[in-house]
Structure formats: C-alpha cells, structure tokens
Chains A and B, each alone.
Chain A
C-alpha cells in the first residue's frame, strides 16, 4: 500500500485538453473519488495512473516510486506499476473460467500452485463468488462479473486500486446492493483507492474525499460534506445534488447578515461565510431540502425569510409531490408531502446554510 501523488498532469488530444493541470494527493489508505460529467477527463486521469496512456506533462508517484515524470522522461509501462484497475466493462477474458481469470495475475508472479489455489479460494470467498469458480464469464450476471473483476484485481494485492465506474453497468437495485457491499469491503481492506464515477450518491457515500472535475480541471477537492454543503462554485453546486439558483442584488450588509433583493423586489436575509460587497450582483443557491412551504400566516423572522412564488406544475412521484415554482422567471424545485393548492405558494428559506456566489449565474454556466 502506498500514497499517490499526481502533480500538474496534462493530457492533450489534438487541441482538446482532456486533463489540464490536475494535481491530487491521495494519502495511504484513502478513498478518493473523481466525479464529473461525461468527458471531463476522469478516465484519462485514471489511464495515466495505470500507465495505459502516456500523458503530455506532469508527474505521478506512488509510494515514492515514480510512475511517470515528463521532466525526467520517465514512463513505466503498465506491467511494471503494480496498480489494480477494474474496468467499466469488467474486461473479463471470455476464454478463461472465473478461476483462470483470477489465477492469471498470480501465474505472472510465479506463485506456486498450492499457494495460488488457496489465494484464489480466499479472494473468491471475499467477493462471495466461490461457487462460480468454474463458470465462464458469459454465464455470469452483470453484478457477478463485477465481483470477479474486483477479485481478479485484489488477488495480487495492488499498491493502489483504480476503479472506473464499476457499478455503471448494473441496474438500479443491484447498484444499491453493490454500493453497500463495496463500502463494507472498502473499510475491511483499507486500500488506497481512486474511484471514478459520475454518480453523486456513490461519490458521497463511499469517499473520504471527492475531486469534482469539469472540462479537464479540478473544480473542487474536499470531503463529501464540504462538497455538498460548501460548493466552491455554481457548477459544483449544480452537479452535486439538486440546487435552486436565484439571482439577487445585495441591498444591505449588517453584521454578517446580508439582505438580498430578488429580481421581483422581494427580500431575503442570509448569513454569509464570505460577505459579499454591498450593491453587487450575487446568486443565491439552496438545496430543496433546506426550504419548505411556509405555514399559513408565517412571516420572515430571525430564523428565515418567507417569499411568495408562483406554482407552475405539480407531479406525484410516490409518497411526495414535486412542485415546479417560478420566482421572477427563476425556476425553483420543491419536494413536499402536501401538494399546494392554488397558484401561489409561500416558501420559507433558512437564514443560515444558503450559499452566495458572486455574479449572476444559473448554475449551468
């Protein structure tokens, strides 16, 4: 086991910068997730660590061993790195049985037959696939294939574990189970791991830290709570969870409490970590679970503000209602157990916990 240091990694494809100056330090035993929309460079970063693809610049070291250093011209071939990589496609060799698939890396390391047998049995037991040792990959379900792929990687005790969207080929139910199973396995093994996904629930529930990537760059690096509760910019806020954005102007600033004037003149008070400049344009971002429908006659107070919105539509989504609201042309999504009656709905927004971004933004930009 070892720590992983990526410094100033750059990979260009023609004029596209697939990975653009990415630096990440993954501590020994840490589980870090690369999260981001499709095409943001997650797989490219992973391939650079595994040695499947030669980057254009930067440095990668694992436990003091240099895998790649563009300045010194060092580039270790993948077979000399000792990484473990689980592919999105699982890449099980179709002409070998489960046991043979798992045995392959051990044969390469010249592990003696008896020892090899024992290790294969152990690792298959670990992933609960022992009864399937003699099957061929095409006779397994997607979830079982994924476990074999993991077993094949764990069996040689890789220095770091790289997982590229290992759950994305599973259906929703199986995915939940596999995630729970993976979380349990992760605490048991304690391997240094980089996990790639574009599923935020996987990222939030599994990771020690999350790296949110966008267009080849790191948008934010932090713990799941950091990322969720204190997103660095509207992109991160929008990408992780559902976020409502309201354009506003800072009307007043008194002792850490900012009074915002919304586009239609309504006022909201929020506490801000980083106080904005009075008079500037800002974007107020808040999660659906932070707000609620105001009770009848409730007014703004020290705890939170009440604002009036227009109801656009409501749809039943099982147990709850999803309500689309409109506030001066800004869309707001609310989930509630009681469907609103009438065209108007008053929302209650807490004073603490909302986030202010400088400038006008709707999150998509």
Chain B
C-alpha cells in the first residue's frame, strides 16, 4: 500500500489479559449470589441450635422433629392437592385457549389472546384481592347470587377455591407453551387428517391435541412447581380457614413467629428445595423431549385455522365471559374499590366516590415509603441486575472462559429456589456474615435477593436475542486486535441493546410484583408494595389494599405499554 507510516499489524500482547479478572469476578459473583441463601439453609438444617449460636452442634434430629410436628402430614397433603388442582385448572384453560385462539377462526382471536395473558403480568397477590372483592363472602357476585338463589355454592376459603385463583393466574403459561408448540408443528399433519376425511373436532382431538402433548406435559410440570411455591393465595385464603401448605407453614414458623425454631425452619426449607430441584430437573428432561417432538417437520408455513362454523359465536361468548369473570371484573372491581370508600350493589356508586384511599397512601409513611422503595428497587435494582445478566450471557455464550458451563448452570439454578426459601436463606446469610448489618435493614438486601431470584428470567429474555447476533461480528473484532472486553463494550453491547431493554422491562415488572422473598427480608423502613399489601390486608385496610394494588397494576401496565410502543419489546413467546 502507498501508506508511509506503519501502524504495525499486531498489537503487542497485553501483559495481563483483562478478561481474566472480569470473567472470574462475574463467575464468583454469580456463584456466591446463588450459594448465599442455600448453604446457610442446608447447614442450619443439620444444627441443633441457631446458626449464629457457637455452641450449636451437628445433628440429624431436625428431620425427625419435622416429621413428628403435629399436622405436618396434612400440610404436605394440602400442598400436593393445591398444586395438583391448580395445575389441572391451568392446563385445562390454557390448552383450550391455545387451541381456540391459536388454531381456529374464533372472532377476535388476537385480542382474546392478549387479554388471556393479563393475569401473567399481575402478581397472584393482586389477583387474589380482586377475586375476593367479587367472589369473597361479601363479594359482588356472591351477594348477587345470594339475593337471587340463596347460599353461594363456592368458597374461596377452600382448596378448590384457591386452586381456581392459582389456576387462572397460571393458565397463561400453559397457553404460551401450547401456542408455540402449535405454531411449530407441521400443519400438513393436520391437513393430511382432514384430507383423509376427519372432521374439525375429530382432527383437533386426534391430531392437534396429541401433538401438543409434550408442551402440555412440560408446562404442567412447570405449573405444578409454581403451585408448590405459591405463598400469596394460601396465605390470604388458606390460613383463615385453617388450611396450611408448605409455604405458609414456613411463613408461620419463621417470619410470623416471635421465636422461630431455626432448625425446623431450615429443614422444612431444605425439604422444599429438594422437591423443587427434582421438579426443575424433570422440566429440563421434558423440555429436551418437547424440542424433539415439536421441531419435527417444523416449517414456517402458517397452519390453516379450523373452521368452527355455527359454534363460532357461542364459543366466543364463552371465552369473553371467562376473561370477564377471571380477570377483567376482579381487577376492575379492585380499581373501582380504590376510588370509593365502600362498595356494594346496594349503594349508588356516585355516593361513595373518593380519593381518600390514595390520600391515605400518601399520609401514612409506611405506605408512601413502600411505594418509593418499590420504585427504587425496581428502577435501580433491575438496572444492576440487567448489567449482571448481560455480562453473564456474554460470558456464557460469547467467550472462551473455561468455566462458562458452570456459570451457566449456576445462573439457571435459581429456577429451583422457591421465593420463600430464597427469603429465608438470605435472611440467614446476612445474619451469619458479620458487617452486613447495614445492608440487612435496607432495601439493598431486597435488590440482592430479587436479582438472584430473577437471573434465569433475565437470561431467558437476553439469550435468544444474543444467539441471533452472528458470532462472526465479534470474531471479526477479535481478529482485528480487540480483546474480549473491548469487543464486549464496543461491538456486543450496542448490538444487544434490544435484548437488554427487554431484560430490563421483564425485571422491572418482576421486581415490582415480588413479595414472597421480601416478606422474610424487609425491616421497618424497607417495606415494598408487596409487603405493604399483605400488612394492610392483615390489618383489614381494604381501601389501602385496593389503592396499592391499583398502583401496582397501573405501573406494570404503563411499563408494558411503553416497552412495546417505544422499543417494540416482545415480552413472551
């Protein structure tokens, strides 16, 4: 070339490679974050005294004591039954919705599908309050029913009632998995059946549904796991009726107990952990199978929808009623309650309209603080977590780091740590390590715990998009002389921006809704909306509950709409 100055092709090798401390540091951070709640629990479960008591000795006695605890067998049975029933409900509704909205010519399929997903964005806690206001003992529908037909045949304060709420809030998961499996199956399989003379419903029953089976099985295990971990619904409806499940049992003997028996708490938590780890392992096995099934002829052709014929509008009506009764009405009523002093079919609405509930939120420091804290935790915590997750994704998928497999495993492990277990575990961890007292009583312990909880969720948002960025783009930078860290900053980060925005949105929502971990960790001054909701509920402040719930629903709705409109973020599928 005609150039005179020689830039020298090779860059002198750095004496020290910057990626080494960064990659090892991130790996250590992830491992510590995930191990922090687990090790203290496992250790405490084999101690005869409190973890911080230096005279405690190793024992296996806790397991025997737990087994002998009065009513523990009943607790396990209730837990199993609730998880099973809510899974059945979720799978029934979810699968039916996936077939109806995804595979038939039902009117307004897109809108119905969108509305069907609503409960997924809300916390089960808020949904529970909504259901209470409609189907509770003094709920709108209950009162209406009583005035017409006498005693209402349902009760939310039963396993069946709880399973109904939990099922509705988990149905969107089943829906999404079945929908994506339906989108991937080879449409010619159905067409072949129809050509062979099978009618619409026979084809659905004999071909479409069986092809969805792997997705149904996978999401069933997923929903069963979520059912086991569920705290809010049994806390609100189970406890007053004397129905205790494992999560509320844990809550009662730890956070709600004046002098917790730490050996027992840790052992019960460890038991729960073992069960969930097994179920998550089962999920990953099934997922492997799902892939094997659904991608079989997977072509990009859009399957032709089934024609419902005369049933089109009747089925539409049924779906609309379901969506109205399960989500729209409960949430609508909760919002309405937030703007009124009292709500009853007997009193005209205009007489009770008020902003008093929100003034109360503003006036009472606890509630005002919980809202501020939730915003800080969600805005900043989610940002920190997004940085961490982005780095983890890059290390796992775009580096030669020797332990990247291990990092990946550790980063996905929190799927197997229930919120209550994480809460108890972090509580122990911070009690155990001296010098962390400052963090223990601040919202930062929540940021740390939430981050750990939602690493897999964030990775789920980042990884697929990251994998779509051609590896040639970062290899090109490496060959030209950029080390891993420069490549990460200058090439990968800008290319990953949409993935990071999606990750941040999902984390913001998750952090804003989270309560099960927080219940075990918050202190006066570090309340968040979730914990304040529960406190207000326990104190019978229905107006405050409605107000806080309304704020939560509103913030999440705004967040989702903004992310969709401005960044075109897809939050699922």
Contacts and interface: CB of A to CB of B under 8 A. Distances in A.
Interaction A to B: yes
Interface of A: 50-52, 54, 65, 76-85, 87, 89, 91, 93-95, 104-106, 108-109, 111, 115, 119, 122-123, 126, 152-154, 156-159, 189
Interface of B is mostly: loop
Contacts of B3: 119, 122, 157
Nearest to B14: A80
A105 B472 contact: no
5 contacts: A65-B10, A79-B480, A80-B11, A108-B486, A159-B9
Can you list the 4 inter-chain pairs with the closest CB atoms, starting with the nearest? A82-B10, A82-B9, A91-B472, A91-B476
Nearest to A88: B472
A95 B9 CA distance: 24
Given A52-B475, A79-B481, A106 B9 contact: no
Nearest to B7: A109
Contacts of A52: 475, 478-479
A158 B481 CA distance: 10
Interface in B429-477: 470, 472-473, 475-477
B6 A109 contact: no
Contacts of A94: 473, 495
Given A84-B480, A87-B475, A109-B481, 5 more contacts: A78-B475, A93-B473, A109-B7, A122-B3, A157-B9
Q: Which of B480, B486, B494 has the most CB of A within 10 A?
A: B480
A165 to B, nearest CB: 12
A258 to B, nearest CB: 51
Q: Which of B3, B5, B7, B486 has the most CB of A within 10 A?
A: B7
Contacts of A84: 9, 479-480
A156 B482 contact: no
B8 interface: yes
Given A77-B17, A79-B483, A87-B476, A158 B9 contact: yes
Interface in B465-512: 470, 472-473, 475-483, 486, 490-491, 494-495
A100 to B, nearest CB: 10
B10 A159 contact: yes
Nearest to A157: B9
B13 interface: yes
A105 B490 CA distance: 12
Contacts of A123: 1
Contacts of B8: 82, 109, 157
Given A108-B486, A154-B1, A159-B9, A79 B495 contact: no
Given A93-B491, A126-B1, A104 B6 contact: no
A77 B16 CA distance: 12
B475 A89 contact: no
B147 interface: no
B10 A95 contact: no
Contacts of B17: 77
B478 A79 contact: yes
A83 B479 contact: yes
Contacts of A65: 10
A284 B479 CA distance: 46
Contact of A80 (B1, B10, B470, B476): B10
A85 B9 contact: no
Contacts of A80: 10-14, 481
B486 A85 contact: no
A104 B490 contact: yes
Q: Which of B5, B6, B478 has the most CB of A within 10 A?
A: B478
B13 A152 contact: no
Contacts of A109: 7-8, 11, 481
B155 to A, nearest CB: 58
A9 B475 CA distance: 21
Contacts of B473: 91, 93-94
Contacts of A122: 1-3
A157 B6 contact: yes
Contacts of B9: 82-84, 156-159
A159 B481 CA distance: 12
